[in-house]
Structure 1
Amino acid sequence: MGNKIRVYVDKNKCIGSTTCIYYAAQTFTLDSEGKSTVVNVDGNDINKIQEAVDSCPVGAITIEKDKQ
């Protein structure tokens, strides 16, 4: 029994800086508009994803944690 997480990218805020990809490349990629998008929440561990969230220069990424 662990925590299930959901990761969201606010496309209106995202500037495509790629810092999220630097920290969690298995979780994020850029879409055709050059905006970050989540491709695999299970691609990186929660610590790497949190680093990506914390490094976003415009605060476009959020994590929701569900206790199960």
Structure 2
Amino acid sequence: MAGACLLARHGLGQVHPNPLVGAVVLRGEEWIGRGWHAELGAPHAEVMALAEAGERARGATLVVTLEPCAHH
């Protein structure tokens, strides 16, 4: 979680009024994907992290600093 919190800070000054969000995909102790909400309208942190991990995300753990959201 600490790593995801650090990644979230990359969005400082870029995502207001949205919250800062970071995400890490872990396989054991290894980071296989990471992401953050980089700018308004950009993919969310968990989307970036899962895209970076690709197929390696199967069976891995996703750690996100905010519950994933969806627009309806």
Q: Normalising to structure 1: TM-score of the pair?
A: 0.30
Pick the structure with more strand per residue: 1
Higher percent of residues as helix: 2
Structure 2-normalised TM-score? 0.30
Task: Flag the structure with more relative contact order, 1 or 2, with Cα contacts below 8 A and sequence separation at least 6.
Answer: 1
